[in-house]
Chain A
Amino acid sequence: MTARDEVLARISTALGRARGEAPGEISGAAAIPRRYRRAGATAAGEGVPAGVGHQAELVELLVDRLVDYRATVTRSEPAGVADVLAQRLGQHRIDSVLVPDGFPEEWLGAVSAERRTDDALTPAQLDGIDGVLCTGTLAIAETGTIVLDSGPGQGRRALSLVPDYLLIVLTSDQIVAGVPEAVARLDSGRPLTWISGPSATSDIELNRVEGVHGPRTLDVILIQAARPGF
């Protein structure tokens, strides 16, 4: 008997099925009590009607959470993104910056750092670049989480990981309230990376130390409007 058949047979016996009895149909989601909040709520626990007021509240909550994780958040009007972006790179003395395919060109107008593209760079080559820019897929206000799915403007997973400085540009309409709304919007077929604050460890006497292996700096630019060109 193969290991596969044997493990499956053990499970069947363990569940008290008679020999040869087929496993029951999987019940699927129907049997699960889902009385928890699934949409439209905030950390205060109240369902808030969708709309402008709701979105503004989510922005505040997200910023609060991100800052709590020691990420830096800079807000910008759509017209000011290029300047804000260049200013952030300057402040962190980023001399070389990786720009993934699909990152909006109009945000790069004022960047003076050397621009690199991902032409199958090796991990060691990625390690030689100061910082990386990317867009996000969505952000979760309650938990301060930004999700990347390797889509346009983001590039493959290694890009947001190896350089020491990561700048993510988000638009306020990408923010959802809680984890359930995020899960509902994501495509499980894509590689997903959920980022909540910069890399950190608490392994030494539970002291939080930022940046062990991932980028030590997480810089977020939040645009108060919809994304251009998408």
Chain B
Amino acid sequence: MTVAGKTYLGMPTAPPGVGQLRGDESFPDAAETALANGQLRRNLANATSTIRAKRAAVVAEVPDWQELRAAAAAVKDDVLAHLDSYLVQLEARVTERGGVVHWARDANEANRIVTELVAATGSREVVKVKSMATQEIGLNQALEEAGILAFETDLAELIVQLGDDRPSHILVPAIHRNRTEIRDIFLSEMAGVDCGLTDDPAALAEAARRYLREKFLTTKVAISGANFAIADTGTLMVVESEGNGRMCLTLPDTLITVMGIEKLLPSFTDLEVFLQLLPRSSTGERMNPYTSMWTGVHPGDGPQEFHLVLLDNGRTATLADERGRAALRCIRCSACLNVCPVYERTGGHAYGSVYPGPIGAVLSPQLTGVADNPSLPFASTLCGACYDVCPVAIDIPKMLVHLRERVNQDKATSHRLPTPESAGMAAASWAMRGHRRWTWLLRAARLGRLARLSRLSRSAAGRRLLPPPLSAWVSSRDLPAPPAQSFRDWWAEQ
């Protein structure tokens, strides 16, 4: 075992049998199903190329983008290096301001805490703001088992919930559905909907508004996640577009926020970095329509009871792996999904986890332990586009290679034979083994050599020159243009 191996062994990971971090089948099997679905591929290609273009345009407006990225990466690394101190500081500030802080070792514990908190209010219904953390732990199901109805209020989450479906994208969870499918779901599942409902997006949004209005005005308990928590002030923050978040965060009497322990920022000042990076990277807007910030309880304004649940669920196991730790910098902007040629073809469901795309391929296996998600580190062409767009500069390709090694190590120690996907992918990972080879490949891409390689590879003869993942990579025609300067080059220059 390597030195790094010693630290991550034995650290408890997210428990199986609860929540949504593991798929029912391996990535290649699930991807095959997705690839056969032409409608899904068209919906995805449309959506990802639209968001890609919007993002590129608003990022280009910001002259100090790389400086902001460097600051963001440094801030998150500082948080991770002192995570316990910052968490204790956050707890003190929230408590001083009238909030109650709870700690949860894993999904089961978090679900139990939230269920008991809701039960204590006497309410059998809760309204929910879209939150990755509560999906990760399968909170809705746990509440249902306790006889509590959870209403998702984000339009896309509502579409997913009514359609008895799973989210397929971090930002736009119903991206795999088109307007006709959405209308059909509303018509069959939404109580009181007008049977003449058309598939016009404005009409569909109006139907959702009417359906949820009553819930917002009467429900006494809300559950949210948090985009950021500020350690030095105890401030919690949610960014959103529709106003459903503000409804949930301000109208009910009780607010319960579930947050992964890595979602901290040291100081209020750090928001000046992250509120520039997140909206532009995420929705491709200069700023999202609504951002809410609250610090404990504000007398006479908003919920008068506030609970914050701090969730581990495999995060400390991720922290223990020095080479995988940076995945915890992630601010869930979803930019890496939209540029990923693999995601664009397979969609989010193939990843089996609430965290799809490139970040899912590194985060899910770390949260669950690589033995439970062995195919995900191979679900990538290692083209590097995800690293280039990531606002917190997570070197996802490098981390994928590291995790592939861990999967193989894990299989060797447990005397299992390598799976076909790991054997096949091993042929391609030569390029990623060494930092220099990888850097060369990226430079080559920028110098246009890859364009020639790409043309060549579209011929049958050319394709035979390269092993499968690389051949697919170079022959995909709609890859984003490689950036003029990689972040690594830029960093080296500074």
Contact = CB atoms under 8 A, between A and B. Distances in A.
Interface stretch (A10-18, A51-59, A108-116): A10-18
Nearest to A194: B291
Given A10-B312, A123-B216, A207-B201, A197 B319 contact: no
A201 B153 CA distance: 12
B243 A3 contact: no
A124 B251 CA distance: 10
Nearest to A156: B301
Interface stretch (B282-290, B368-376, B451-459): B282-290
A136 to B, nearest CB: 14
B301 A191 contact: yes
Given A157-B301, A201-B242, A32 B78 contact: yes
Nearest to A24: B82
B272 A183 contact: yes
Contacts of A4: 103
A161 B85 contact: no
Given A202-B241, A212-B243, A36 B64 contact: yes
Interface string B244-286: 1011011100000000010000111111110110010001011
A203 B83 CA distance: 35
Interface stretch (B69-77, B140-148, B388-396, B397-405): B69-77
Contacts, number: 262
Contacts of B212: 213
Contacts of B272: 38, 179-180, 182-184
Contacts of A203: 154-156, 159, 172, 174
Given A26-B85, A32-B78, A213 B209 contact: yes
Nearest to A44: B63
Interface stretch (A78-86, A90-98, A138-146): A138-146
Given A191-B301, A212-B209, A26 B241 contact: no
Nearest to B295: A189
Interface in A153-200: 156-158, 161-162, 178-180, 182-184, 186, 188-200
Contacts of A140: 287
A204 B179 contact: yes
A43 interface: yes
A33 B11 contact: no
A32 B74 contact: yes
B243 A213 contact: yes
Nearest to A65: B286
A138 to B, nearest CB: 13
A194 B300 CA distance: 20
A157 B75 contact: no
A201 B241 contact: yes
Interface residues of B, number: 103
Given A7-B103, A180-B272, A213-B209, A192 B292 contact: yes
A45 B63 contact: yes
Contacts of A183: 268-269, 271-272, 275
Interface string B45-57: 0110011000000
A27 B289 contact: no
A29 to B, nearest CB: 6
A144 B291 CA distance: 13
A10 B243 CA distance: 37
B155 A194 contact: no
B233 A189 contact: yes
B64 A127 contact: no
A45 B64 contact: yes
B59 to A, nearest CB: 12
Given A157-B302, A184-B272, A212-B208, A200 B241 contact: yes
B85 A202 contact: no
A214 B246 contact: yes
A188 B272 CA distance: 13
Contacts of B154: 203
B178 A205 contact: yes
Given A179-B275, A204-B205, A15 B294 contact: no
B271 to A, nearest CB: 5
A12 B97 CA distance: 27
Contacts of A184: 269, 272
Interface in B281-317: 283, 285-295, 298, 300-302, 310, 312, 316-317
B82 A127 contact: no
Nearest to A3: B103
A14 B7 contact: yes
B266 A26 contact: yes
B231 to A, nearest CB: 8
A127 B320 CA distance: 50
A16 B7 contact: yes
A182 B316 CA distance: 34
Contacts of A204: 155, 174, 179, 182, 201, 204-205
Nearest to B251: A123
A210 B290 CA distance: 13
Interface string B193-222: 000000001101100110011001110000
B289 A36 contact: no
Interface stretch (B29-37, B86-94, B409-417, B481-489): B86-94
B242 A213 contact: yes
Nearest to B204: A204
A36 B71 contact: yes
Interface in A5-49: 6-8, 10-16, 23-29, 31-38, 43-45
A195 B273 contact: no
A50 interface: no
A43 B301 CA distance: 35
A3 B104 contact: yes
Contacts of B249: 157
Which 5 A-B residue pairs are closest in the complex by CB-CB distance? Answer: A214-B243, A45-B63, A213-B243, A14-B320, A10-B316
Given A13-B320, A193-B290, 13 more contacts: A11-B83, A15-B83, A26-B266, A32-B74, A32-B270, A36-B71, A144-B287, A183-B275, A192-B291, A196-B287, A206-B175, A211-B205, A212-B242
11 contacts: A13-B316, A24-B85, A26-B85, A158-B251, A192-B292, A193-B290, A194-B287, A203-B155, A204-B205, A209-B205, A213-B213
